[in-house]
Amino acid sequence: MAAQETRVITKFLRDRTDDSWEFAVAREHNQAYSALEKALGMEPAQLVEEVTKSGLRGRGGAGFGTGQKWSFLPKDVFPRYLAVNADEGEPATFKDHMLIERDPHQIVEGSIITAYAIEAHHAFIYLRGEFALGAERLQAAVDDAYANGFLGKNILGSGFDLELIVHRGAGCYIAGDETGLLSSLEGERAMPRIKPPFPAVQGLYAAPTIVNNVETMSAVPHIVDRGGEWYAGTGVNKSLGTRIFSVSGNVEKPGNYEVELGMTFRDLIEGLAGGVAGGKQMKFFIPGGASSPWLLPEHLDEPLDMDRATELGTMLGSGAIMVFDETVDPVLVAWRIAKFFAHESCGKCTPCREGSWWLEKVLYRMANGLGRADDLDLLLSFGNNISPGVTWPPGQTTICQLGPSTMSPTLSLHKHWGDEIRARLAQDAERRTTLEVAAG
Ligand code: SF4
C-alpha cells in the first residue's frame, strides 16, 4: 500500500479546501476548545497522568517525555509558568510555522490545558520574531479565546484563571534553547544558562517553569479528547503517536507530512515526498535538522523511531529531513551548516565561540579546493575540545547543545567519506604545491 499520512494535529488544516482558521471555523470543524471543556472537569494531576500514559515526547528536538517533564515541578512551589517554544529556528524546520499560521487555536487550547495541568496562571508563547503573519494570527486567536471565556478569570466557570501572552522574540537561533528562551523572555540577551537547575525547578523569574514546543502543545487536546491509551496505541516502541516531518532539499514534493512514528524514511522520502528530484540518486540525508549527524541511502529502511536514530548515531531532532542528491558536495554542505552555527553561537562558552569560528574557516578552504592534507583531522581535534570524543550522543564542554551540534557535519564527513575526503585533501595540497613551485 502506498505510504500515507496519519493526520491528527494537521487534520483541520489539511482536510479542508477552505483555508480559514478563525475562531468560528475552528470551533465548527475542529471542535476547538472542546478538549479544554473536558480537561477542566478533570483534576490537574489526572491530566498529568493521562499525558504521561500517552507517551508523548517533546517535539522540539530533545524528545523528553512531556508528562514526565510536567511531573518534575516541585510540589507546592508557586507561582509556576508555562513557556511555549514557538521560536522554531533549526534550519529546514517549518512545521511549527505551519501550525502557528494555520491552526493557532489548537496551540492556544493545548497551552491552556497544559497551564491548567501544571497549575500555572501565567503562560507565554515565545514566537520567532520573523513570523509576522503567525504573530498576527496567534494574537487574534488569543484575543478570541479571551472574548469567548477560554482565557482570563474563572475560565468557563471552573475557577481557573490564566493570562496568556504572545511574546515576539528578536530572531536568534539560540532563543530556541529552553534556557535561552527564558533569558530572552526576562528581557536579557537570549543566552543559555547552565543546567541544573533545570527550568522545571528554577526557570522564568527563578520560578518553576515548563517549556514545551508548539507541536507538543498541539497534540495535547487530542490526547485529552481521545485518551492517553489511544495515543500510546499508535507509533512504535517508545516513539509514540504522530509527528510532523518537514522534508526539503532535492525531493519532488518538499513539504510537511504528519506520519505515525515507525514509518520508514523510505516511505516518507520516496513515498510521500516523491523521492529524489529529477530521477537522480540520493547521496545522503540529514534526518533531524542541521544539528543532527547525517545518514546514507542504506539507512532508508530504518524506522522513524527516536531511540533507533540514537543507535544509528543521530537523532530525529526537530523533524527536519534534508535530502541531497548525487551532485551535492557534502563538504560544501558541512561548511554551510558550520557557517550558520558560527554565526549563531552566543559566545558565552570558549569552546563553542572559538571552535565554531575555526570549523567554519577550515571547512571553507576544504570546500574550495584550498584544504591542507590534515584538515579533516584538524577539524576533529577542534571538535574534541567542544564535544570530547566526537561521538554520538555527544559529550559536551559547553553550556548548551549548539556547541556539539557544530560538530555533526564534520562527524558525518569523517564517518561516511573519511578516506575519500583525506585523499581529496592530499590531492588539493599537492596541486597547490605544484602551482606554487611553477609560480616560483
Ligand atoms: S554552546 Fe555556544 S551557543 Fe550555547 S551557550 Fe555556549 S557559546 Fe552560547
Q: Whose CA is nearest to atom 8 of ligand 1?
A: 346
d(CA 62, CA 331): 27
How many Cβ atoms from other residues are within 10 Å of residue 50's Cβ?
Answer: 21
Question: Are 243 and 235 contacting, i.e. CB atoms less than 8 angstroms apart?
Answer: no
**pLDDT tens for the 440 residues of the chain, in order:** 689 999 999 999 998 888 899 999 999 988 999 999 999 999 999 999 999 999 999 998 788 899 999 999 999 999 999 999 999 999 999 999 999 999 999 999 999 999 999 999 999 999 999 999 999 999 999 999 999 999 999 999 999 999 999 999 977 999 999 999 999 999 999 999 999 999 999 999 999 999 999 999 999 999 999 999 999 999 999 999 999 999 999 999 999 999 999 999 999 999 999 999 999 999 999 999 999 999 999 999 999 999 999 999 999 999 999 999 999 999 999 999 999 999 999 999 999 999 999 999 999 999 999 999 999 999 999 889 999 988 888 888 999 999 999 999 999 999 999 999 999 999 999 888 887 777 76
State whether residue 122 is helix, strand or coil.
strand
- Statement: the pTM of the whole predicted model exceeds 0.85: yes
Q: Which atom of ligand 1 is nearest to the CA of 348?
A: 7
Pocket of ligand 1 from Cβ distances under 6 Å: 174, 192, 345-349, 352-353, 398-400, 402-403
pLDDT score of 353: 95
Residue 79: cis peptide before it, omega within 30 degrees of 0:
yes
CA of 348 to the centre of ligand 1 (A): 5
Taking Cα atoms as reference points, which of 407, 346, 349, 418 lies closest to residue 382?
407
Q: Which atom of ligand 1 is nearest to the CA of 180?
A: 5
How would you class 290 by CB atoms within 10 Å of its CB: exposed for 0-12, middle for 13-18, buried for 19 or more? buried
pLDDT (tens digit per residue) in 300-327: 999 999 999 999 999 999 999 999 999 9
- To test the ligand 1 pocket, which listed residue (400, 405, 406) has its Cβ within 8 A of the most ligand atoms? 400
Buried b (16+ CB within 10 A) or exposed e, 387-425: beebebebebbbbbbbbbbbbbbbbbbbebbeeebbebb
- To test the ligand 1 pocket, which listed residue (174, 182, 356, 386) has its Cβ within 8 A of the most ligand atoms? 174
pLDDT (tens digit per residue) in 179-200: 999 999 999 999 999 999 999 9
Q: Which atom of ligand 1 is nearest to the CA of 174?
A: 3
d(CA 107, CA 55): 19
Q: Look up residue 141 and give its amino acid.
A: A
Residue with cell 543566552: 191
